[in-house]
Amino acid sequence: MRVLLLYPLFPKSFWSFEKTLELVGRKAMLPPLGLATVAALLPQEWEFKLVDRNVRAVTEAEWEWTEIVIISAMIVQKPDFIAQIEEAKRRGKLVAVGGPYPTALPKEANAAGADFLILDEGELTLPMFVEAIQKGEVSGTFRATEKPDVTSTPIPRFELLDFEAYDNMSIQFSRGCPFQCEFCDIIVLYGRKPRTKSPEQLLAELDRLYELGWRRSVFMVDDNFIGNKRNVRLLLNELKTWMIERNYPFHLNTEASIDLAQDPELMQLMVECNFNAVFLGIETPDEESLAFTKKFQNTRDPLSESVEAITRTGLRVMAGFIIGFDGEKPGAGERIVRFVEQTAIPTALFSMLQALPDTGLWHRLEKEGRLHGKTTAINQTNLMNFVPTRPIETIAREYVDAFWQLYDPMTFLNRTYRHFLMLGVPKHHAPTRPPSWVNVKALLTVCWRQGFVRHTRWQFWRNLFGIIRHNPRVWDGYLAICAHSEHFIEYREIVREQIEAQLAEYLASEAGAKTKIHQEARESAAA
């Protein structure tokens, strides 16, 4: 069986970093780990080709070669996901789909023309699909009622990926999260009992990346890396030895809940394993909103103190923020800006709240009659997909204003500077490798644009010399994050333009609906 594994396009988003990636000649931040894992779970006598459309298009030869197309996608990839199903069907190919989007909204995948729906987690449903193929079946839907034991998951087929195209490689240690945040779909997709691989498994995956020549950053894509702290400690104790023996070949990044700050030993272990950044779901500094959405883990300790503790340990903090919670008070956008500035978090993912399919929020809003009917490709440039408790125009304008302030070039530059001044330095000394010409050219470009061309020029040099003087071992990481401004300068324009256009369309639609109601009322009264 000849299988084309196809990953649809992402729209421009907060994490797409096109302008930043151009500096180092990369095409995408992360590879499609799910499809590489699917290739490892399917019969190994089958032939595979993997095409990430964020890297390149499918060739005519590949379309002709394949017997079946397997597509995996998240909701944000919806437009191209549907387009690729239609293109494959136009060419007479069998199409199988899976991943978070089809699992959450299988009817949409079915309506687009997919033949096979391989839903939930592949360790359980891919064998059902293989059995159907071997029987000669040409359609089917495969679901699982249980969660698989991931200790049996094989090493992903990393060799199918174009290593030169990606800025980071990705691996996964655990699935699931123990918390109950109302808006989060992770507990819907993967459950509230975190399941982990064995330390030996994960080290085998890192060994494979090492053998294939990867020497850049690795993102641990767990939605909450510390969800099972006992197993994480077991992993880190073995990973520390692995890193030392191989002279720290990778920097590691991940995502974790903010209660990480209350475990100094765990943070120190992560730093000793060469973790250098962590993404935190902070969401909002408003404690009432956090409690309302059941994100209780963020209410137990002062958020600003937790961010500082993590930063001083040596983990650069990235964080997510959301506006539009029920019962939210006016000025939420400005409060988020003040919190981000106070804590000096450089990279602050900021979005309007969206109701994701099958979450607690989704079901509550559906029961209250507040969900909009149409599913959109959700990202930072979409209005909310439900009726909020505050006027949507107020939330949208607060959101745009806050996004604009957060990613003002001077504001971002100074916030990044303050963060790296505070950033702890690990005790171990990972090797300093000679920079490639690509990296040297990228750093020179950043210095030219931000240190000569733009109005940030004087502050750029002041800050850079301040870093070299006060925390010299982080200078390269500091400049790398400064380079992110190249993306945000453009992206904040996109956010403002698209949100304002959608808001104008929404308000015009609302005005039209009110006019129609009034017209019908007048006609009824006249009758």
- The 3 state secondary structure assigned to 56-75 is CCCCHHHHHHCCEEEEECCH
Distance CA(215)–CA(435), nearest Å, equals 12
Distance CA(472)–CA(459), nearest Å, equals 18
* Whether the predicted pLDDT of 375 surpasses 70: no
* Whether the predicted pLDDT of 376 surpasses 80: no
* Whether the predicted pLDDT of 428 surpasses 90: no
Indicate the SS3 state at residue 478.
helix
Q: What is the pLDDT of residues 208-229, one digit of tens each?
A: 999 999 999 999 999 999 999 9
* Whether the predicted pLDDT of 301 surpasses 90: no
What average pLDDT does the structure give for the chain?
95
Q: What is the pLDDT of residues 458-498, one digit of tens each?
A: 999 999 999 999 999 999 999 999 999 999 999 999 999 99
* Whether the predicted pLDDT of 514 surpasses 90: no
How confident is the model over 400-414, as a mean pLDDT? 98
* Entry pTM: 0.95
* Whether the predicted pLDDT of 524 surpasses 90: no
DSSP conformational letter for 9 = P
Q: What is the pLDDT of residues 244-278, one digit of tens each?
A: 999 999 999 999 999 999 999 999 999 999 999 99
Q: What is the pLDDT of residues 317-356, one digit of tens each?
A: 999 999 999 999 999 999 999 999 999 999 999 999 999 9
Instruction: Please tell me the predicted confidence (pLDDT) of residue 341.
Output: 98
* Whether the predicted pLDDT of 373 surpasses 90: no
Q: What is the pLDDT of residues 85-133, one digit of tens each?
A: 999 999 999 999 999 999 999 999 999 999 999 999 999 999 999 999 9
* Whether the predicted pLDDT of 363 surpasses 70: yes
How confident is the model over 399-414, as a mean pLDDT? 98
Instruction: Please tell me the predicted confidence (pLDDT) of residue 436.
Output: 86
* Whether the predicted pLDDT of 517 surpasses 80: no
Helix or strand run (H / E) with residue 87: helix 78-90
* Whether the predicted pLDDT of 520 surpasses 80: no
| Strand intervals (E) in 373-428 | none
Helix or strand run (H / E) with residue 397: helix 392-406
Parallel, antiparallel, or unpaired for β 116-118 and 252-256?
Answer: unpaired
Distance CA(136)–CA(324), nearest Å, equals 49
> Which tokens sit at 63?
């379309």
